[in-house]
Homo-oligomer: A and B are copies of this chain.
Amino acid sequence: MKRNRPLNEEKRKAILKAATVEFYEKGFEGSSMDTISKKANVSKATVYNHFKSKEELFLSIAYMLKDRFSQSFRFEYTKDKSIDEQLNNIAKKEIDFLTVKENIELIQIVTIVLIQKNEIGVKLLEEVNEDNITMTTNWFEQAHKDGKLNIDDSEFIARQFIGMIKAFAFYPQLYGAPLLDKKEQERVIKKSVEMVKSLYLVK
């Protein structure tokens, strides 16, 4: 008469959810398949039916992160909008992503593994970051070509710009600092844009 137990796809989701919480709270090594299965209200063997190892379970979560990021961080240079407006948009997109609690948690999870160099997921987080830089680099390059910015090394500027944002909105949070509130977000955006304009804008 065991009712109320999710089946199939529901079980899969329950496992992923439980695992995310568990990995976030205890890291990869600190988490146990036993606890995960209990939290998901599912037998341990069922976990193994869905994910063939702890590593694969972890990777599934990591890829959720990448997908989520890829979807939210898309933009292209356009002549139709001012440099100021476009820079503001880019900064906003970045910050929006980084001020969602769930995203930071996912990043923390993956970061631990990445730093531990367990090989798992290393490429993954690199990819996320490079997507980020590449996209921004392209934007700066085109702004340069369009004669709006005075730039010699677009990738350096891209890293500088993104770096400034992350310096306030990401790295501290990685170490447990609280997410930025609206006002702080706006200030960071404003200051980052100002910096680029002040240093590189063609007058």
Contacts and interface: CB of A to CB of B under 8 A. Distances in A.
Contacts of A116: 25-27, 30, 112
B163 A129 contact: no
Interface residues of A, number: 37
Interface in A62-90: none
B115 A175 contact: yes
A42 to B, nearest CB: 18
A3 interface: no
A191 B160 contact: yes
Interface stretch (A13-21, A94-102, A164-172): A164-172
A115 B118 CA distance: 16
Contact of A168 (B118, B122, B159): B159
A4 interface: no
A195 to B, nearest CB: 6
Nearest to A30: B29
A125 interface: yes
A123 to B, nearest CB: 11
19 contacts: A25-B116, A27-B29, A27-B115, A28-B29, A29-B29, A108-B115, A115-B175, A115-B176, A129-B175, A159-B167, A159-B168, A160-B164, A160-B168, A160-B191, A160-B195, A166-B167, A166-B171, A167-B167, A195-B199
Interface of A: 25-30, 108, 111-112, 114-118, 122, 125-126, 129, 156, 159-160, 162-164, 166-168, 171, 174-176, 187, 191, 194-195, 198-199
Return the 4 tightest CB-CB contacts between A and B, nearest first. Answer: A163-B167, A29-B29, A27-B116, A29-B30
Given A156-B191, A160-B168, 19 more contacts: A25-B117, A26-B29, A27-B29, A27-B115, A27-B116, A114-B175, A114-B176, A117-B176, A126-B176, A159-B167, A159-B168, A160-B167, A160-B191, A163-B166, A163-B171, A164-B164, A195-B195, A195-B198, A198-B199
